[in-house]
């Protein structure tokens, strides 16, 4: 059952259903539905991976892996093994934080990466630059 608790009708349904389940001492699973990343965010982060890769001599996949390894909140451990989070599993907020981290990290390493607005304004030239390096990505 998916409900929007900012909607009074859904909130009432949630409370009624919760009371019923509490009365039955049921086992339940409750989870928050978070906004998935947007297609625009996805396209933009891949532009950043490509531009970073061009600047430092990595393929897009290598740049993505490198940046995830360098970013503390993109790493996690399980059973003593190190893993990297999948960007496809990040919500809008988390992906925004990762994008900001990438831009900051890049600037600290003398590589300016455009903002999303700058990319929108100069998309043709940026995409042209990426295409001219396509054989290396």
The range of the structural domain enclosing residue 21 comes to 1-33
- Structurally, the chain folds into a number of domains equal to 2
Angle (CA) 8 13 18, round 5° = 125
Q: Is residue 84 located within the same domain as residue 121?
A: yes
What pLDDT was estimated at residue 68?
Answer: 98
pTM (2 d.p.): 0.76
Average pLDDT on 80-100 reads: 94
Asked if 21 and 82 sit in the same domain, the reply is: no
pLDDT at 4: 84
**Sequence-distant (≥ 6) Cβ neighbours of residue 49 within 8 angstroms:** 60, 63, 64, 67
Between residues 34 and 50, the one the model is more confident about: 50
One domain, residues 17 and 44:
no
11 shares its domain with 58: no
Rounded to an integer, the average pLDDT of 35-43 is 84
Does residue 13 sit in the same domain as residue 77? no
The pLDDT tens digits for 94-136 are: 999 999 999 999 999 999 999 999 999 999 999 999 999 999 8
Q: What whole-number percentage of the chain has pLDDT above 90?
A: 77
Does 78 lie in the same domain as 28? no
Q: Please report which confidence band the pLDDT of residue 56 belongs to, taking 50, 70 and 90 as the band edges.
A: very high
Q: Is the pLDDT of residue 59 over 90?
A: yes
Please state, in angstroms and rounded to a whole number, the distance separating the CA atoms of residues 2 and 12. 13
Measured CA to CA, the distance from residue 133 to residue 53 in angstroms comes to 10
Position 30 pLDDT exceeds 90: no
Judgement on whether residues 28 and 60 belong to the same structural domain of the protein: no
Give the containing element (helix H, strand E) for 82.
strand 81-84
Domain shared by 49 and 63, yes or no: yes
Are residue 81 and residue 118 in the same domain, yes or no?
Answer: yes
Q: Return d(Cα 37, Cα 116) in angstroms, integer.
A: 14
* Residues 9 and 68 both lie in one domain: no
In a shared domain, residues 25 and 65? no
Asked whether residue 34 carries a pLDDT value surpassing 80, the answer given is no
Average pLDDT, the chain: 93
- Whether residues 70 and 19 share a domain: the answer is no
């Amino acid at each position: 059952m998916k409900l929007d608790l900012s909607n009074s009708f859904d909130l009432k349904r949630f409370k009624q259903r919760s009371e019923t389940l509490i009365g039955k001492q049921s086992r339940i699973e409750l989870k928050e539905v978070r906004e998935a990343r947007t297609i625009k965010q996805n396209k933009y982060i891949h532009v950043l991976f490509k531009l970073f890769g061009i600047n430092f001599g990595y393929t897009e996949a290598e740049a993505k892996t490198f940046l995830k390894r360098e970013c503390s909140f993109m790493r996690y451990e399980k059973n003593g093994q190190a893993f990297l989070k999948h960007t496809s599993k990040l919500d809008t907020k988390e992906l925004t934080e990762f994008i900001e981290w990438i831009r900051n990290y890049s600037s600290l390493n003398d590589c300016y990466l455009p903002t999303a607005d700058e990319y929108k304004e100069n998309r043709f030239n940026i995409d042209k630059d990426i295409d001219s390096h396509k054989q290396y990505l």
